Amino acid sequence: MAFISSTCEPLRIWSRLEPRARQVDFAGTLSAPIADPMFLLGRQWQFGEFAGTDAGSAIFATLAREIHPMTVPGAGPDDGVDAVTERLPIAFPLVVRARLGRTLLSRMDAALIASGVEQVTICTPPATRSCSSPATRRNGATSVWPHAHWTAPASRKDSPMNDKTKLADLRKSYERGSLDVDDVASDPFAQFGHWLNEALAAELPEPNAMTLATVGADGRPSTRIVLIKDYDERGIVWYTNYNSRKGRELEANPFAALQFHWIELERVVRIEGRVEKVSAEESDAYFKSRPLGSRIGAWASPQSEVIPGRGTIVARVAEYGLKFGLNPPRPPHWGGYRVVPDYWEFWQGRASRLHDRIAYRLQADGSWLRERLAP
């Protein structure tokens, strides 16, 4: 028999009835003894092997019959032999069990997707019991059936996206709010402060996290997540290692883009502008406010450089911890950057992908022009 799965190669398990010589004496082999001759005779009759043509019928047949009681360990008085034997564990090798499990999961995925059912419960009742109730009484005690909940692939968090169709089907309808030119502040910094405060009030996970995009001298863009540490009418501030990749790219091309994505509020804020270093006094003040481990780490990590292993960092942390103790100074290669915005965009998700987008563009006289953009 063969199990065919769309997620793995076919699994084939072959069973073959074949008299084989297992001893030096061939007498037993030549007689072709069969453990269950009645079963074999029944199969021969079922498949028409006795309906031969141009062949004679047997003149006589000799039959012998012996009756022996059959006992199966674990069988109750009402249990049939089949019910007991089917409950016995099958000693499949691990690789066979894994392939059978993958085949079952794949077929259940396909069945649930086709039926539109999001979750089913699989229960394994005791023998001769019905699966219509969650528990059964046995010997005066209550035994709960083993069961498992099966969720459709589209909503299973642990389901691997190994099918491009499943990935393409992921979508969300944005319906939490709206945004119009008349709804936003005339100044983008004020509008940003309003949205940031709402994100903080909503207790979103890391509302201060933002994507920073830079472009190197070779024209290749790169992104990473950094944390906003301050903002005012001058711009958005974060701190980092000046010798890191982003530091080197900003040295060659002092422009950057930032993006905040507050998923739960269905909002995005995009910021573009020129980048400058903050003053040494600002960097010193913020560095002193950091935890001791982070201050030592600023010395220990040659950020973005290739290292042999984590042991290198651990050794450097110990080295600089011993050197500076509880008062490490700010490294000369570490400090703050500020994006001085000349463009803002506020994005509010809407249904049917007809999102609201309001842009602010800095004008020559220092004012901000508000515009609605097509979704």
pLDDT in tens, 117-152: 666 665 554 544 444 444 433 344 433 444 455 555
Q: Which residue has the higher pLDDT, 361 or 53?
A: 361
Output 4-7 pairs: Cβ under 8 A, ≥24 positions apart: 4/103, 5/99, 5/102, 5/103, 5/106, 5/107, 6/106, 6/110, 7/102, 7/103, 7/105, 7/106, 7/162
CA atoms within 13 A on the CB side of 153: 22
Residue 141: its pLDDT value, please? 40
Domain boundaries, the chain: 181-373
- What is the separation, in whole angstroms, between the first and last Cα of the chain? 55
Question: How much of the chain exceeds pLDDT 90, in percent?
Answer: 51
Q: pTM of the entire structure?
A: 0.58
Q: Indicate if 372 belongs to the active site.
A: no
List the Cα angle 259/261/265 in 5-degree steps. Answer: 145
Residue 136: its pLDDT value, please? 39
Please tell me the least confidently modeled range out of 170-174, 301-305, 366-370: 170-174
The third-level CATH classification (topology) of the domain covering 181-373 is Pnp Oxidase; Chain A (2.30.110)
Question: How much of the chain exceeds pLDDT 70, in percent?
Answer: 68
pLDDT mean over 308-327: 94
> Helices 310-324 and 292-300, interaxial angle, to 10°?
120
pLDDT mean over 170-196: 91
pLDDT in tens, 227-246: 999 999 999 999 999 999 99
Q: Which of 267, 353, 357, 372 is catalytic?
A: 353
In the predicted structure, residue 286 carries a pLDDT above the cut 90: yes
pLDDT mean over 346-350: 95
pLDDT mean over 191-216: 96
Please tell me the least confidently modeled range out of 102-111, 220-229, 302-311: 102-111
In the predicted structure, residue 46 carries a pLDDT above the cut 60: yes
For residues 147 and 119, give the distance between their C-alpha atoms in angstroms, rounded to a whole number.
13
Residue 313: its pLDDT value, please? 94
In the predicted structure, residue 15 carries a pLDDT above the cut 70: no
pLDDT-derived band at 267 (thresholds 50, 70, 90) equals very high
Residue 188: its pLDDT value, please? 97
Residue 311: its pLDDT value, please? 93
Residue 220: its pLDDT value, please? 96
In the predicted structure, residue 74 carries a pLDDT above the cut 80: no
In the predicted structure, residue 284 carries a pLDDT above the cut 90: yes
Q: Which residue has the higher pLDDT, 332 or 351?
A: 332
